[in-house]
Amino acid sequence: MGFKFISLFLLLLPLLTLTILSRADQALASDKKPHESHRNRTVLASAGRVKIAALKGRKQTRECNLFQGRWVFDASYPFYDSSTCPFIDGEFDCLKFGRPDRQFLKYSWQPDSCTIPRFDGQAFLNKWRGKRVMFVGDSLSQNMWESLGCMIHASVPDTKTTFIKRTPVSSLIFQEYGVTIFLYRTPYLVDISKETLGRVLNLGTIEGGADVWKDMDILVFNSWHWWLHKGVELQGWDYIRTGSSLIRDMDRLDAFNKGLTTWAQWVDQNVNISQTRVFFQGISPTHYVGKEWNEPRDNCNGQMQPLSGSTYPGGSLPAASIVSRVLSSMKTPVYLLDITTLSQLRKDAHPSTYGAAGGSDCSHWCLPGLPDTWNQLLYAALSM
């Protein structure tokens, strides 16, 4: 009798297992995302830990940190030819302004734990047909905006476009698809007001332009580059207003923290997450001090290849820590495109002396170049 019972149990075991798994799947499917901690979602997103639904025809369930990896030589790069893209500003068009080497164009970013999808401009347009994308920030936002325009244009070179450059809002429309990619220039995100005593940086207010941001389908914010500028000609303000105080200057990291906190509060109060995906571009590094990467050179001039490995000798940037901390405190899930370390490794990718602006530019990036990788990671985050 005992033997018959065991045999019957063994026959029924697969059916019981399938029933249990089926009910488990149903329970997972009915688990609504609003019950998940907003804080946890932000922290996970900022670390780049996303699950890939499918990769090369098979399901991959392990987690992937998009931003931990290394640069590898890739003969299939770049994504486009700068001479055929009509959207590149002279300050980013390094080949046009005489850069003789091209090896810097031939590197792709390889995460340690997975393979990211290659950018497909036509697939992007089809997925976001009729939608609006906006980059909000300073000239690094412009760098990324022009890069995305060129990457898409290379996939659909014959589609009609409308390209308008104005201040503060510029736009690029891919007419057949109804996709508009905007750039909103505002280097500090918070307001600068013109008052009788001069230009005042208001760390506690966001009014100018914020209404324009509300109805976008994808928002990519960026700020930091201008917070370090000093001097009447370079900085964009004469006084800082913080609370009830009006002061000449303050610690710039503290000012950035206050301004970014005001931005975070605005996002939490005004962005409809059922419509809008929100990203923060992350801190873009500069390469003006050669000792940061253990070389005697003063800056990025003459650099022709990235650093090997996955860590930067100069260490992390304090501003990046502020960004992570502010984002982790928000109710709204904001995905951090954590491009800092991978960009620190690209000492070779700046315009240096090969740009329309002249001088030695170790802050911005050549196009084609590093911002194309930022957009590929944005594409991966939107696709996964």
Supply the pLDDT for residue 144.
98
Calpha distance 120→79 (Å, rounded): 10
Give the chain's length. Answer: 384
**pTM for the whole structure:** 0.84
Confidence of residue 209 (pLDDT cuts 50, 70, 90): confident
Which helix (H) or strand (E) segment holds residue 150: the answer is helix 139-155
Supply the pLDDT for residue 296.
85
Nearest-5° angle of CA 286, CA 289, CA 294? 115
Highest mean pLDDT among 30-44, 51-65, 195-209: 195-209
pLDDT above 50 (res 61): no
The more confident residue out of 15 and 222 is 222
Q: What percent of the chain has pLDDT over 70?
A: 84
The DSSP secondary structure of 282-311, one letter per residue, reads -PPP----GGGGT-S-SSSTT--SPPSSS-
Asked if 54 and 60 touch (Cβ cutoff 8 Å), the reply is yes
The more confident residue out of 29 and 243 is 243
The more confident residue out of 271 and 19 is 271
Interval 346-367: pLDDT, tens = 999 999 999 998 889 999 999 9
Percent of the chain as helix, strand, coil, to the nearest 5: 35, 20, 45
Radius of gyration of the CA atoms of the chain, in A: 24
Q: What residues have CB less than 8 Å from 136, skipping those under 6 apart?
A: 184, 186, 189, 213, 219, 220, 221, 222
Interval 253-268: pLDDT, tens = 999 999 999 999 999 9
Tokens 């005042």, residue located: 200
Specify the amino acid at residue 301. N
Catalytic annotation on 364?
A: yes
CB atoms within 10 A of CB 96: 14
Catalytic annotation on 139?
A: yes
Q: Which listed residue (46, 82, 108, 139) is catalytic?
A: 139
**Cα dist. 224→13, 138, 139, 320 in Å?**
60, 8, 10, 9
Interval 74-104: pLDDT, tens = 999 999 999 999 999 999 999 999 999 999 9
For residue 313, is the peptide bond before it cis, meaning its omega torsion is within 30 degrees of 0?
no
Q: Environment class of residue 150 by beta-carbon count within 10 Å: exposed (0-12), middle (13-18) or buried (19+)?
A: buried
Q: Which listed residue (350, 361, 363, 372) is catalytic?
A: 361
Report the interhelical angle of 318-328 vs 38-46 (nearest 10°): 150
Confidence of residue 119 (pLDDT cuts 50, 70, 90): very high
Confidence of residue 47 (pLDDT cuts 50, 70, 90): very low
